[in-house]
């Protein structure tokens, strides 16, 4: 009997949202995504500690930022031995408002991958979907470096990413859901806001309809899921990046996942074309309280985990000195 995961694969490319190699081997995703939080979680496990120690030992004179990049690339390289497609590797969230520094850091990451014998075509550089991050991605794409714009919570960000010709965007579902649920408080009706009515799902559907209507080539990868209902409601999205816990739930349940997102239907809806420039971007993002708050919060959380990762690297460096 077909499982939900097998059925989903018929409509959508499944991506593993984890730094856990064993989970990737178990669920056989096409691509994999990482971020500072996932790498931090992984290196705190005994089975992956060796990668941290090996990275520091191989470049004892390197700075902490350089060692962090080397660690990310070590994980990415190991992941690419498992998945047939691409891995997303994130630029330090502390550079989310610095276009030039983001470009330089991305080039360094790609150089490390290429030194390891890995083609840049198998790597997506992740950047926060701030105005500065999007402009960094514009230049990187022109340089032949493919980008994945993350912490994306609105059509405004998605339109700017499309006009920057980025390869892929990661609109967040669960964090949007979290914001609306918290805002509603005791008046929140879970049943009424489930499935296709979930506010996070509706946000991704809006972006999907816009992109497909106007023939935008940027790939859409739904991310940040809280339950498999959100995943099933986005069947047909270009890609979906899913945690091992939810992948396991999809694999354990039998059933069919019908197609929910269809480019032909998107063209029937025909969303209005949006002009975009920096003023429009900042104004519309500011008008969207949810997107503004979740973008800022996401950068803060990734920054906190990056700082903790720095501390772990510093400790290992001191131990090996």
Residues with a catalytic annotation lie at 126
- Identify the bridge partners of residue 13 per DSSP, sorted by sequence position: 239
Phi then psi for 222, rounded to 5 degrees? -60, 140
- Structural element, H or E, at residue 15: strand 13-17
- DSSP reduced 3-state for 63: coil
Phi then psi for 101, rounded to 5 degrees? -65, -35
The strand ranges marked E within 153-268 are 168-171, 219-222, 239-242
Structure tokens at 129: 């979907």
Ordered alpha helix ranges (H), 15-125: 21-27, 36-43, 49-58, 64-80, 99-115
DSSP secondary-structure letter at 222?
E
Which of 82, 69, 81 is CA-nearest to residue 39?
A: 69
Distances (CA, A) of 284 to 37, 162, 166, 193, 204: 29, 16, 20, 25, 17
- DSSP reduced 3-state for 271: coil
Residues in the chain: 321
Which of 264, 213, 212 is CA-nearest to residue 238?
A: 212
């Amino acid at each position: 009997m077909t499982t939900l995961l097998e059925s989903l694969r018929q409509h959508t490319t499944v991506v593993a949202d984890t730094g856990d190699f064993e989970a990737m081997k178990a669920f056989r995703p096409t691509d994999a995504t990482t971020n500072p939080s996932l790498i931090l979680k992984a290196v705190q496990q005994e089975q992956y500690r060796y990668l941290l120690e090996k990275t520091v030992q191989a470049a004892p004179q390197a700075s902490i930022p350089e060692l962090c990049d080397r660690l990310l690339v070590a994980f990415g390289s190991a992941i690419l031995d498992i998945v047939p497609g691409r891995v997303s590797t994130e630029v330090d969230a502390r550079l989310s408002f610095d276009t030039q520094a983001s470009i330089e850091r991305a080039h360094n990451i790609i150089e490390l991958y290429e030194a390891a014998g890995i083609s840049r075509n198998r790597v997506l550089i992740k950047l926060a979907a701030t105005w500065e991050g999007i402009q960094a991605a514009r230049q990187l794409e022109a340089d032949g470096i493919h980008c994945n714009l993350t912490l994306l919570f609105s059509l405004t960000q998605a339109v700017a990413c499309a006009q920057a010709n980025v390869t892929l965007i990661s609109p967040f579902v669960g964090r949007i859901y979290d914001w609306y649920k918290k805002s509603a408080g005791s008046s929140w009706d879970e049943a009424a806001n489930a499935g296709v009515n979930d506010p996070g799902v509706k946000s991704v559907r809006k972006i999907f309809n816009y992109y497909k209507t106007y023939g935008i080539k940027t790939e859409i990868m739904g991310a940040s899921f809280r339950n498999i209902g959100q995943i099933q409601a986005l069947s047909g999205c270009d890609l979906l990046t899913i945690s091992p816990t939810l992948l396991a739930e999809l694999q354990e349940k039998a059933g069919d996942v019908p197609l929910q997102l269809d480019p032909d239907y998107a063209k029937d809806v025909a969303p209005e074309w949006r002009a975009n420039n920096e003023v429009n971007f900042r104004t519309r993002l500011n008008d969207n309280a949810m997107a503004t708050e979740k973008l800022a919060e996401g950068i803060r959380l990734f920054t906190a985990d990056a700082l903790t990762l720095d501390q772990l690297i510093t400790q290992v460096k001191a131990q090996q000195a």
